[in-house]
Structure 1
Amino acid sequence: MINEELLTAAVRNNAEWCGSMCRAHGLTTATGPRAWTSPHRTPLYYPDAVSLAADATAADVVTGIDLTGPGASVKDSYARLDLAPEGFRPLFDATWIGRPAGAPAVPAPSWTRAGSPEALAAWAHAWSGGDADEAALFRPALLDDPAVTVLAVPGADGRVVGGAVLSTGAGATGVSNLFAADGTDPAAVWAAALAAADPAVPVVGYESGDDLAPALAAGFTELGPLRVWLAA
């Protein structure tokens, strides 16, 4: 895939992952040609709308979402929208990343699939740093989604010290929620994620700040900017 195709795959894969998370919380979403939207407030950290096309308009992303109170958010996938007139402010910027199909270039540490409610709870506890409210984001219903794999990297004592979520869709594997705890090298977690991904399809995602460099070191390239907006 060329970068433009990878970017499209990254955007649409991420929207599908947002849909998976919403379904795990009992929410119904809608996907149109230029936007993915949820008519109900989405789970913590997940957008109420995602633009799916570079020519999407403000109307495409704000129509059909709940604006009756503060807190709605929009993922502006191409960082081209001006949502200030709609009552939004920029929350953060990030960078889409992609890696072409192919086997990982470096050995990976051992990893397991958090495939039971108990294993998912342990994973979520590690991901959240022990924050019960954040850990509750990952509900057991997520395990019933065949497109989702929750990957855990165990430490010497068996505790989860790193992990990520892999989600298939739009002809790619998406990597999200990647974390490295207790001094774990992020490079090891990225290697595990790539080892768990299907080598026949590209791997995509997005990162920002200090988390971008380890992804690039793992063989990803920058595909383009995105911006998340938050309603006042």
Structure 2
Amino acid sequence: MLAAADKARVCAANNADLYEAVFRAHGLNRQRNPFLWWSESPAPPYYSNMTTLDPGAIEFQHEAVKRLSSALDGPFAVKDGFSRLDLASLGFKLLFSASWTWANASRAAAGAHSPMAFGWERVRDPDALHAWEDAWAEDNPRDRRVFPPAILDNPDIAFFGRASACDFDAGCIVNRSPGAVGLSNVFAKGGGAATVYQDATLAAAIYADDLPLVGYEHGDTLHAASLAGFEPVGDLCVWLRHSERAA
């Protein structure tokens, strides 16, 4: 049985795997070591340029943020996977705090033997992905595509959506790592967040085989995740540098 701190590490590593997949699909540079994942390319909308992977490497990570601040001209975000960094002195402001979430392997295994919720399907072609992103982004305005078609070629990433008359009215992303399967980007148009989160969890469990399900949420969505069987296992936060670096 993993301790909560170890589960949080698994969650952070899985989330970094999703970052890796998205940045790779965009053709952007990215690097990783045991302590953090980062990219010196401008990030896609809603993605950070760095995410930490070790709660104990605070000084190393703080110096890495300084180097990244020198490499990037515009605003960018840092995801502190364990809420250990104070980046205010480097010109960052706290954007939000959240909790890593975990549903144990027995729940995932049970879900694998259940059918997907009515109307849900896996997104498999670029046109469907385009429609999925438009539905997801209805309340998330952005200046460019977040998920290019190339991401569909990644066998460890799956997009699921609930089909409506002309597009999707609910959906999620599932990403597989060696130790867990991540559930993220859960959305629902017109309410019903708790039910949709349960349906998304079922889709992820079918995809997960016997691996635990992980993710991160805050606010009302964290409550929806708890109703779907997830438990909080650690804290994270996201810092944002608004201003451009000094000339």
TM over 0.5, yes or no? yes
Counterpart for residue 21 of structure 1: 22
Paired with 1:181 and 1:15, the residues of 2 have a C-alpha distance of 27
Equivalent residue for 2:152, pick from 143, 159, 173:
143
1:81 is paired with a residue of what secondary structure? coil
Following superposition, the deviation at residue 88 of structure 1 comes to: 1.0
Counterpart for residue 87 of structure 1: 91
Equivalent residue for 2:217, pick from 207, 212, 227:
207
1:122 aligns with 2:131: yes
Equivalent residue for 2:77, pick from 73, 79, 87:
73
Counterpart for residue 161 of structure 2: 152
1:91 is paired with a residue of what secondary structure? strand
Following superposition, the deviation at residue 138 of structure 1 comes to: 1.6
Following superposition, the deviation at residue 209 of structure 1 comes to: 1.2
Following superposition, the deviation at residue 115 of structure 1 comes to: 0.7
Paired with 2:53 and 2:167, the residues of 1 have a C-alpha distance of 38
1:99 aligns with 2:103: yes
Deviation digits for residues 53-87 of structure 1 (CA, Å, limit 9, x no counterpart): 00122113443466542311100000010111221
The letter for the 2-side match of 1:217 is L
1:222 aligns with 2:232: yes
1:178 is paired with a residue of what secondary structure? strand
Counterpart for residue 56 of structure 1: 57
Q: Provide closer, same or farther for how the CA distance between residues 141 and 4 of structure 1 changes in structure 2, counting only shifts above 3 A.
A: same
Counterpart for residue 245 of structure 2: none
The 8 Å contact of residues 123 and 160 in structure 1, kept in 2 or not, is answered as yes
Q: Provide closer, same or farther for how the CA distance between residues 201 and 185 of structure 1 changes in structure 2, counting only shifts above 3 A.
A: same
TM-score, normalised via structure 1 length:
0.90
Residue segments in structure 1 that go unaligned for 5+ positions in a row: none
The total of aligned residue pairs comes to 231
Residue segments in structure 2 that go unaligned for 5+ positions in a row: 243-247
- Quick check: which one's helix share is greater? 2
User: 4+ residue runs of structure 1 moved beyond 6 angstroms?
Assistant: none
For the aligned residue pairs, the C-alpha RMSD in angstroms reads 2.2
Paired with 1:87 and 1:65, the residues of 2 have a C-alpha distance of 9
Following superposition, the deviation at residue 36 of structure 1 comes to: 0.5
The letter for the 1-side match of 2:150 is A
TM-score, normalised via structure 2 length:
0.85
Q: Provide closer, same or farther for how the CA distance between residues 135 and 210 of structure 1 changes in structure 2, counting only shifts above 3 A.
A: farther
Following superposition, the deviation at residue 210 of structure 1 comes to: 1.2
2:100 is paired with a residue of what secondary structure? strand
Following superposition, the deviation at residue 104 of structure 1 comes to: 3.0
Counterpart for residue 121 of structure 2: 112
Following superposition, the deviation at residue 190 of structure 1 comes to: 2.9
The 8 Å contact of residues 165 and 178 in structure 1, kept in 2 or not, is answered as yes
1:129 is paired with a residue of what secondary structure? helix
Paired with 2:40 and 2:193, the residues of 1 have a C-alpha distance of 39
1:161 aligns with 2:161: no
Paired with 2:72 and 2:196, the residues of 1 have a C-alpha distance of 43
Paired with 2:152 and 2:100, the residues of 1 have a C-alpha distance of 26
